[in-house]
Structure 1
Amino acid sequence: MAYDLNKQIGHLLRRAYQRHTHLFQTAIPDEHLTSVQLAVIATIFREGERSLMYIGRVTAIDHATLRGISLRLKQRGLIRIRSNPDDRRERLVSLTREGEEAARLYIPQAAHVTELTLEPLDPCERIAALHVLRKLAGA
């Protein structure tokens, strides 16, 4: 049985993601900021202070990965983490002033990266691609 990589969804998704990641790294001047870290910053920027569990659910980042991301963002001074006074087991995350500045600067640039990623597609294909990806992602 022939196994043509260019007909395999996982291979094509990985290639598309590699292209998107390259565009992100080129467009965002902060070489230490990943698209997943920006997803966390953008969520907090939009939602305000939230629990790590909530952020993980919204961003679809598993708890162990999110803890590492949060630690790196905290070390960079972009977020603060505190215990919830009503439930000491729960960690609440908010943006620092530097984190808010990063969000205001990088969120529009990241939106432009989406446009660059979709650039090879015509308007109808863009709508279809996003629809199909949302469906595949269960979103």
Structure 2
Amino acid sequence: MKGNKNKAEQNYALDEQVGFLLRRAYQRHTAIFQEHIPDQHLTSAQFAVLVTTQKLGQASLVQISHEAAIDHATLRDIVSRLKKRGLLKVEQGKQDRRQKLVSLMPEGEKLLRETIPVARQVTDMTLSPLNECEQIAVLHILQKLSHCEE
């Protein structure tokens, strides 16, 4: 029995595992994003927060966290950084003063107008090793994997 376990462990190929491959693909995408996006200080997570805020209009941190798939603690830090840059406005909720409501500032809207076309190109570059059929398939598969309920 012990010999079989050691053999199984020896045959484990990290570069054939889904987590490893997803991480490598994400690293490649992030490198392409950072290389081509016009604002060198904008991270992909910050971009996701700006796009989500644009989509939702004025929204709570909880709404943005859920929609952008970013944990609340990380989101607070991202929002704080974007607020310091004058890209987001954060206000207390009128009905619930504990709630923070986030909205885009004009500078944030301007940055998105400049960045979204490039972000579309980044997606195209990320998917460029794939043919059209594979691109459709990988997006479908990733959407399916990302919406699995445990």
CA drift of 1:101 comes to 0.3
Q: State the partner residue of 2:35.
A: 26
Answering whether residue 85 of structure 2 is matched by residue 76 of structure 1, we say yes
Which of the two has greater strand per residue?
1
Q: State the partner residue of 1:103.
A: 112
Give TM-score, length-normalised by structure 1: 0.96
Distance in 1 separating the partners of 2:74 and 2:86: 19
Q: State the partner residue of 2:3.
A: none
Identical aligned residues as a percent: 54
Structure 1 residue runs of 5 or longer lacking an equivalent are none
Residues 1-139 of structure 1: matches in 2 within 5 Å?
A: 1=8, 2-138=11-147
Q: Which amino acid aligns with 2:48?
A: A
Deviations 1:5-63 (A, max 9, x none): 22111110111011000100011121211111001101112221111110011001110
Local SS of the residue matching 1:87: coil
Moved >4 Å (runs of 4+):
none
Corresponding pairs, count = 139
Q: Which amino acid aligns with 1:122?
A: N
Local SS of the residue matching 1:3: coil
